[in-house]
Structures are given as C-alpha cells and as structure tokens.
Amino acid sequence: MPRKDAISTRHRNNLYSESHFSEQLSRTASQNASGGPPRGPLEFFRSVSTLPRRPLVPSSRRKRSASLKWRIGIPAAVHGNTTAALPSESTLDFDPFTLGKDIESCNGDQLLNHNPVQQTVVPPLDIDAILEEAQPGRILAGLTSSPEFQQAVSQLPAATFSEVIRLLSPEYFIEPSKELLSHLHPTTAYVNRILPLSMLMARFAEQLETIVEQRRYAGHRLGLAEYTHLLSCAASMGYGRMAHRFWEEMAEDGIEPTVECYNYLMEAKAWDGGYVAKENHRVRSTVWNYEKRKRWPSNPGYKGFKTGKGGVRDQVHGLFSMMVESGLNPNEATFIHVMTAAGREWDMESVKTTLRTVWGIDVDLLEKDPASHPPVTVYAVSSPLHPTSHSLFAVAHIFGSNNEFATALKLVDFISQSYHIPIPQRVWQELLEWSFVLSVDRFGENLREKSVGMIPRDSAHKLFDVFTSSPYNTPANFKMYDLVIKLGWMRQSKDRTFRYMHAAREHFLQTLKTRNQLFHKLSSMHKEIMSTKGPYRTDNSSATGEYGSVLSEPAYDYRLTHLYPSVTSPGAYWDLYNTVKHLNVTVARESLRFQRWIRLVLTRRKWTGSKARWERQGIPDFIAEWKEFLPRRVFYHTRAGIVEFDPVSLWPEGHRWDLANFMLPLWDAENRLIQGYGESHQSQTTDDQENLNDPATCATRLD
C-alpha cells in the first residue's frame, strides 16, 4: 500500500515546478489586488482530467432537466410537521435510510388515532402581501402546497422571481441543522424521531427542483441570479452532483458563470458528502481513507468526494484554471476551496505555496522560527483577497485533517494577529475536534498508519482551557463539552468529567428554559390567530406533520403538530415557530448526549481513586443526581456482579416523559430541573420527596 510520501510525490509530478507556480500565482495575486485582468492561466493548477464545457447555446427546453440522482426518498417517522412529501427516488449517492415495513406501508393518518380536522373554507390568499412580507418558510409552504400560489409565482417577472427564490436560502433551511445533526447517525435519529440531516437536505433539494420545474413549465428560463442561488444551495448541502448538473444547465441556457458560480461549484465538490454522518468521520488524510475513496463503486461512508486521478483535487484545480482563462479574478473563497481540495489528497505543498504566494505566509518558516517571519501581504479590508474568519476555519480544517495539528494552531493564531481577525467559536470547535481525534489512543492493525500526527493526550483539555479563559473568553457550546467529557472519561478523570457534565447541564437548562418561554409565546399567538381568523386548515395536514410524521398518540399530544403554521399565518408566527422547532431539536439532541455520558460513566469500572467507594457510594449518588437523564436501561458492574434495574421507579407516576421523542413538559413553573440545579449543585432536600406527591410539580418535571 502506498505511503503518504509516495502519494505526495505523485501529485508533485503532475505539476509544474514550485518556482514556476510561485511566479504565476504572484502575478495573478498582484493583478487581483490592482483590479487588472489576469495575464494567463495559473498552469500550476493544470488538472490531469479537465472538465469540458458545452457550447453556450440558448435553450428553450421545458423538459425535466435534472434527473435528481442526488435525491433520497424515505418516508419519515420523525420530528416536525409539514405536508410536503419526501422524495420518491432513492438514488442519492449516500447510504439509503430505510424505515420499517410497518411504517413504509401506511401513512400518518392511519396511525395517529385522532379526530380529523373539520373542513373549512379558506379565503383567497393575499399573494402580494405574502411576497412583500418575504418570510422564507411561508413562501416555501405556498410554493409546495398552494396551487394558487404556485400559479402566481410561476408567472412573476424574472426580477421578482429571482428575489423570491433567493429567499429560500440554505442559511434559513439548512445551516441551523448542520451543526446539530451532522454527527448524528441516521439510525439514532430514526429511533428518536429526529429527521436525519441527509433527509432534510434531500427534501429541500427536491422542493427547489419542483419550484424550478414549475417555472420552466410556465415558459420561463432561469437567469444568472437563479442559477447562482441554486449553486449556493448545493454547496451548502455538499451536493457535488447537484451543483454539477446546474452548471451544465447554465451552459445549455447560454449563461456565463461569475466568480461566485465558480466558487459555489468548487465548494460543492470539495465538501461533497462532507456534512452528513458517517461521511464526515472519514475526511482525515490516511492511506486507508485515500484508497477507499479511489474505488468505484464506493463503499458506504466513502461516497462523497473522490481521490486519485480525476478526483476532487483535479476537478477543483481544473475549474480554477478555467475561471482564470475566462478573465475572472479569484477571491478569498476561491483560494480557500483550491486549498481544501488539495488538502483532501495530501497535496500540502500546493496549500503552503498558495498561502505563501497570495498572503505571504511561509508555513515552513513559521514552524521553524516564527520570530523571523516577514510581514504578511497587506490587503485593504474591502479587498476580495483580505482574509476573514473563513480563512481561519480553512487552515484549521486543512492542516488538522492532514494530521498537522500544531501547524494548524500556529497558523490560526498567526493569521488572526496579522490581520486582526477575532477567532470565532466555530474555529475553536474545529481545532478542538481535531485535537480530540489526534490525541485518542489507537489500537488494532496498521497502528503505525493510524498514529500519524498523534499529539499529547492532554492537548484537547489544554486547548479548551486556553480559549475559554482570557484573552479569548470564548464560551463553550454543547459539542465542545461532549468532546472534553469523553476525553475525561477516557483518561479516567472523574473530577474533570463531572465538572464538565455540570457545566453542560447549566448550558442545557438555559436552552430548555428559553424553549419553554418561547413555546408559551407561540401557543398564545396561535390562540390569538385562531380566535380572530378561525380554523385555517382545509385538510389533515396538521395531523401528518411537517415531514409526514408517523407518530403514536402520546407523542402527538406533546409536539408542535397542532401549532404548525399555514400559508395564511403571519410571518411573525412562522419565525417564532421555526425558532421553537429548532430549540426542540436542540433540547432533544442534547438530552441524547446526556444519556450517552451516563452510560459511559456507569460502564467505567475503574476511576482514579478508591474503587470500592465508587461502587458503594459514588454510583448511587450519581444515579440520584442524574435520574432525570437516565437511559431506559441502567446497568453497571461491581465486584460482586452486575446491577441492572429499570429506572421507572425513580420517575413520578411510574414513567417519565420521553426526552428523545420530544414529549417534554413545556412548562417552566415549579420545574425542579430548572430551579433545583441552579444552587451550586447541592444535593436534594426532603422537599423534593414531598413534591413527588404534588401533581402540578410532577407534571412539570423534565422526566
């Protein structure tokens, strides 16, 4: 099997000499800074296999232009509620996510066992008012469920339609869920009725395709603004094939791409499959991952970007050469995607050369003697080449994924100080994740290969202490707590593990309290709308939910289904509903992590300290403190055997509300979880036992 050096050598043999590259890249960078056109292509980025473009011939086709091979179709029994059906084809290049036959063979109405909503007459939609309000969720609901709205939008002038489709942005529909669900396994998501990120993206992609086809069916062609937005959506979701298909359609329609179009296509290819679970755990540069991604057909978990000849590096660098040849000036995002694609295939020489030529950052000199590093290339803040926080994240990800964590940390700090860029939380999290990956002990076969780039075991904890204290004072999020808690557990550090668990609980309580308060506001607004306008539904969409959910009746009672807004609901209600729904997913995701931590703590048979004291006193105290978060099956080992019990005896009324299924009490008055833990984590008093007999208090417990 080839080693890293052999792979890097093969890449370098496909390129011009470094001096030739530096000369060409310097010329382009200086011309970009001065605003002049580039004199020629950057031959350094000549790809092994180029991307041929079709002749720019206008087309008046109305045919179905995209076969949607990037879609995935799965019926859902998941959290949320909309009447939009999921995609019907299961041809997405990622692993299909199938549900049970009992769920696939029935719909939500057959399982809900509730009284159907009475048919009512809905007044005609005020389409002009809806468009003027510009609420993304409301507009998407109209475009996917209202024939009247669809007909009106399909006939809009080109400029107006462009503004409408740009409202359907990934920042509203995709980005908030990526951080929460990108590391959640689809099976875990299904069991806990959370919509997997891959399904969320596939649904949004199909909705965009439906809107585009309706527009084309009405006799209109898409313009540059529409294609740019569609490419941005594909880039946000990491759908390389979707972006490439839109790119081909642009050529067929005779539309010349801009720098933004090139950048979005590069990003979609460099991050192809990089946001969904299983795929994003296999972006580290190892011989195993490199060889797996070369194969065709690909194995599950390696179906995103490809390596080797014609892989992601060749594709992105070919696009870069094509862009320069067309007379377009690269910007910061362009070079970020070029470096990311090179880093995917261990071509770190290209990454270092780009940093040195464009921004004057000599990585090798910075590692050897930081004090002797010359000043960086200065750009005006308004210059398209001035670095931003995106550059900080890029170097953290590229060097971290290539097993060079120390270099990543130095570069982030150096660029931040040189260009006066504050380091955002997102960059610290990326650094913490790679410090976690590279500090975990490796076992099994190919140990030498797995141990490339390993760093000291306490690196992640030290990094956590650095960015949470002065001068950075960056607050930790729940993902960060998850990493340091797992590290504390691996290192058998009971004090450190429990300290971070308590801090994470305080973070959770704030989220829970905010969710409860906003739910009260949402419920009041819903009652006000119903009292002034009456019922506004014409079907049973409120029962089937946002994703056509298949729910049992108890889950239905405590969800947001009955509060789901319709097209006639005001935009303020849509905004509030979307916020509450996102907080609901956040609460459930964090509660799942608590259950995971508890399982880890109980399975740790050897902590630092007295083992007998932990078994006889530590475990009972731990269970009493965390009883609201206990998993459904509790067991642990002792010297005398295995203790296993059903935690139902610890929950009021013989059961608890299911954290994972969002059957959470939505009241914060008299809530012991919110009010009791705020007092320095003191032990429970006898008042808690008295409160068990109070039905009002029992009903408001988290469990």
Helices (H), 134-196: 136-145, 147-154, 158-167, 170-173, 175-181, 186-191
**Model pLDDT, residue 533:** 62
CA angle 157, 163, 164 (to 5 degrees): 85
Q: How confident is the model at residue 312 (pLDDT cuts 50, 70, 90)?
A: very high
Q: Greater confidence, 325 or 687? A: 325
pLDDT tier, 406 (very low <50, low <70, confident <90, very high otherwise): very high
Which pLDDT value is given to residue 656? 53
How does residue 122 score in pLDDT terms, banded at 50, 70 and 90?
A: low
Q: Return the pLDDT at 667.
A: 33
For the chain, what percent of residues have pLDDT higher than 90? 42
Q: Note the pLDDT of residue 654.
A: 55
Which range has the worst mean pLDDT, 512-521, 578-587, 629-638, 645-654?
645-654
Cα→Cα distances 430→64, 236, 472, 508, 601, Å: 40, 18, 16, 21, 26
Of 46-60, 514-528, 660-674, where does the model show the most confidence? Answer: 514-528
Total residues belonging to the chain: 703
pLDDT digits (tens, 9 = 90+) for 527-583: 888 887 644 443 333 333 443 333 333 333 335 667 888 888 899 999 999 998 898
DSSP three-state, residue 643: strand
Highest mean pLDDT among 34-48, 91-105, 318-332: 318-332
For residue 364, pLDDT beyond 90:
yes
Compute CA 140 distance to the chain's CA centroid, rounded to the nearest angstrom: 21
80: its two tokens: 């949320």
Q: What is the pLDDT of residue 633?
A: 84
Closest CA to 21 of 317, 306, 310: 317
Residue 496 pLDDT more than 70?
Answer: yes
Question: What is the reported pLDDT for 191?
Answer: 75
CB of 43 closer than 8 Å to CB of 315:
no
Statement: residue 278 has pLDDT above 90: no
pLDDT for 519 equals 86
634-638 and 641-645 strand pairing: antiparallel
Kindly tell me if the per-residue pLDDT of 85 is higher than 50. Answer: no
Which pLDDT score, from 0 to 100, does residue 655 have? Answer: 53
Looking at residue 17, its pLDDT comes to 39
Q: Residues of the chain with pLDDT > 70: what percent?
A: 70
Cα–Cα nearest to 622, from 650, 654, 588: 650
Task: Give the 3-state secondary structure of 669-688.
Answer: CCCHHHHHCCCCCCCCCHHH
Mean pLDDT (whole number) for 664-678: 38
Q: Which of 30-39, 119-128, 214-223, 615-624 comes out lowest in average pLDDT?
A: 30-39
Find which of 52-61, 419-428, 580-589, 691-700 is predicted with most confidence, using mean pLDDT: 419-428
Q: Give pLDDT, residue 26.
A: 52
Q: How confident is the model at residue 233 (pLDDT cuts 50, 70, 90)?
A: very high
Cα atoms in the Cβ-side hemisphere of radius 13 Å centred on 499: 9
Contacts 24+ apart (CB under 8 A), 246-253: 246/66, 248/54, 249/65, 249/66, 249/222, 251/53, 251/54, 251/55, 251/56, 252/54, 252/57, 252/59, 252/61, 253/58, 253/59, 253/221, 253/222, 253/227
Per-residue pLDDT, 285: 87
Would you place residue 334 in the very low, low, confident or very high pLDDT band (cuts 50, 70, 90)?
A: very high
At 30 the pLDDT is: 53
Cα→Cα distances 311→270, 296, 332, 341, 418, Å:
10, 12, 23, 9, 34
Computed over every residue of the chain, the mean pLDDT equals 76
Task: Give the C-alpha separation, 216 to 527, whole Å.
Answer: 40
Beta-carbon contacts of 258 under 8 Å, excluding residues fewer than 6 positions away, are: 224, 228, 328
SS3 81: strand
Q: What is the pLDDT of residue 451?
A: 74
Residue 233 Cα to chain centre, angstroms: 13
What's the pTM value of the predicted model, to 2 decimals? 0.76
CA count, 13 A, side-chain hemisphere, 635:
4
Mean pLDDT confidence for 348-360: 96
pLDDT of residue 605: 74
CA atoms within a 13 Å half-sphere pointing along the CA-CB vector of 485:
24
Least confident of 156-160, 656-660, 680-684: 680-684
pLDDT (mean) for 603-611: 76
Does residue 407 have a pLDDT over 50? yes
Average pLDDT over residues 621-640: 87
When pLDDT is averaged across residues 583-593 and rounded to a whole number, the result is 87
Least confident of 80-94, 145-159, 400-414: 80-94
C-alpha separations of 210 from 125, 213, 241, 278, 679 in Å: 21, 5, 17, 29, 53
pLDDT band at 393 (very low <50, low <70, confident <90, very high): very high
Q: What residues does 637 pair with on adjacent strands? A: 642
Q: Is the pLDDT of residue 424 over 70?
A: yes
Convert the pLDDT of each residue in 444-471 to its tens digit. Answer: 777 677 778 889 989 999 999 999 999 9
